[in-house]
Amino acid sequence: MISRSVDTCPYCGLSHPGSFLKSNPLIKGTTTSGILRLLLMINVGMFILAVLLDFQPSMMSISPFGFLSPSSRSLLVLGATGSYPLFELHHWWSLVAASFLHGSFLHILFNMVALYQIGPMVGQEFGTGRMILIYLFSGIGGFLLSAIMGVTLTIGASAAVCGLIGAMLYYGKHRGGTYGRAVFSQIGGWALGLALFGFIVPGINNWGHGGGMAAGFLLAMILGYKERTRETVYHKLFAVCCMIGCALILCWSSFNGLLYLLATR
C-alpha cells in the first residue's frame, strides 16, 4: 500500500518500505500459520514416502510404537542422521533432512502436536522469519551434538521443536514480569515433561533434545525477540534462503528414495 517513491513508512518508520526486496509475495507470504501448515505437510509427505519405500506387513502392528514404522533402510536412504551417516557416509545433508523423518505414526503425531502448540507462541514473540531460523538450526544443532556423542542413527522433528522450547525459555527468563514468568513456567513444564519422557521411554535421543533446546536458547539470545529487537527484512530474507536450501535438500532426499525404489524392483 506504500509507494516505492516513499523513503520512510509513515506508520512504522521502515526505510524504503516499497522496495521489492521488502514487499514481494515470497516475503509477505511467510506467516506463522502458513509456515506451520507447510511444515506439517512436508513432514506428513516425507513420512508417507518413508513408509511406501520399503512397505512391509509388520508395519501394521497393533503396537502404538510400531504402527506404520518405516524400515531403517528407507530412513537411511531418505536422510536419517547420526554418527554413521555423518562420519562414515559423509551425508552432511542429513542434518537437515532428518528433522522431517519419523519412526512411527505415534512419533510424527506427537511431534506435530508439539509443533502446533509451541510454534504460534514463537512466531508471535520472535516473528515468523526468526521462528524459521530457530527451528531449522536447532534441529541441525541437536543432531550434530548427538552424532558427536555417538548416537548412531536418529530422526525426528523433536530436536527442532526443542529449539522452539529453548527459545521460549530464553524469552520468558529474559523478559521477566508477570507474563514472562508465566511463559517460562508453561514452557518449563514442556521441557521437564520431555526430559522425564526421555529417561522413561527407551530409544529417545536425549542428546538431540538437549542440543536442540540449547541451540534454540542461544539463537533466541542472538536474534532477539520483538519487544527487544524488531524483526527486519534481513531476518526474513535469510529465512527464505534457508527454506529454499531445505527444499533442495528434501528434493535430493526424495530423489535418493526414488533411486532406492527403482534399484529394489
Per-residue cell: 28: 509477505
pLDDT, average across residues 168-186:
93
**Closest alpha carbon to 100 in 112, 118, 92, 91:** 112
DSSP at 81: B
Contact 132, 242 (CB under 8 A): yes
| Predicted local distance difference test score (pLDDT) of residue 183 | 93
SS3 15: strand
Q: How far apart are CA 120 and CA 127, in angstroms?
A: 10
Residues noted as catalytic:
158, 209
Backbone angles phi, psi at 225, to 5 degrees: -115, 170
pLDDT, average across residues 210-226:
95
Asked whether the predicted pLDDT for residue 67 surpasses 70, the reply is yes
pLDDT, average across residues 31-44:
92
| Predicted local distance difference test score (pLDDT) of residue 167 | 96
Contact 250, 46 (CB under 8 A): yes
| Predicted local distance difference test score (pLDDT) of residue 169 | 96
Q: How far apart are CA 98 and CA 96, in angstroms?
A: 6
| Predicted local distance difference test score (pLDDT) of residue 26 | 54
Whole-number average pLDDT of the chain:
88
Residue with C-alpha cell 518413508?
A: 50
Per-residue cell: 51: 513408509
Within 8 A by CB and 6+ apart from 101, the residues are 46, 47, 50, 70, 75, 78, 79, 80, 155, 156
| Predicted local distance difference test score (pLDDT) of residue 261 | 76
**What DSSP assignment string belongs to 153-209?**
SB--THHHHHHHHHHHHHHHHHH-HHHHHHHHHHHHHHHHHHHHHHHHSTT--HHHH
| Predicted local distance difference test score (pLDDT) of residue 18 | 64
Asked whether the predicted pLDDT for residue 60 surpasses 80, the reply is no
**Closest alpha carbon to 32 in 121, 146, 162, 150:** 121
pLDDT, average across residues 58-82:
81
| Predicted local distance difference test score (pLDDT) of residue 213 | 96
Contact 226, 125 (CB under 8 A): yes
pTM of the entire structure? 0.87
| Predicted local distance difference test score (pLDDT) of residue 16 | 65
Contact 118, 166 (CB under 8 A): no
Please indicate whether residue 122 or residue 15 has the higher confidence score (pLDDT).
122
Q: How crowded is the C-beta side of 200, counted as CA atoms within 13 Å? A: 6
Residue with C-alpha cell 501394521?
A: 60
| Predicted local distance difference test score (pLDDT) of residue 27 | 56
Per-residue cell: 152: 548412531
Q: What is the pLDDT of residues 104-128, one digit of tens each?
A: 898 999 999 999 999 999 999 999 9
* Winning range, highest mean pLDDT, from 3-12, 180-189, 228-237: 180-189
DSSP at 237: H
Residue 81, strand partner residues: 154
Q: Band the pLDDT of 84: cuts 50, 70, 90.
A: very high
Please indicate whether residue 32 or residue 100 has the higher confidence score (pLDDT).
100
| Predicted local distance difference test score (pLDDT) of residue 245 | 96
Asked whether the predicted pLDDT for residue 4 surpasses 70, the reply is no
The proportion of the chain whose per-residue pLDDT surpasses 90, expressed as a percent, equals 62
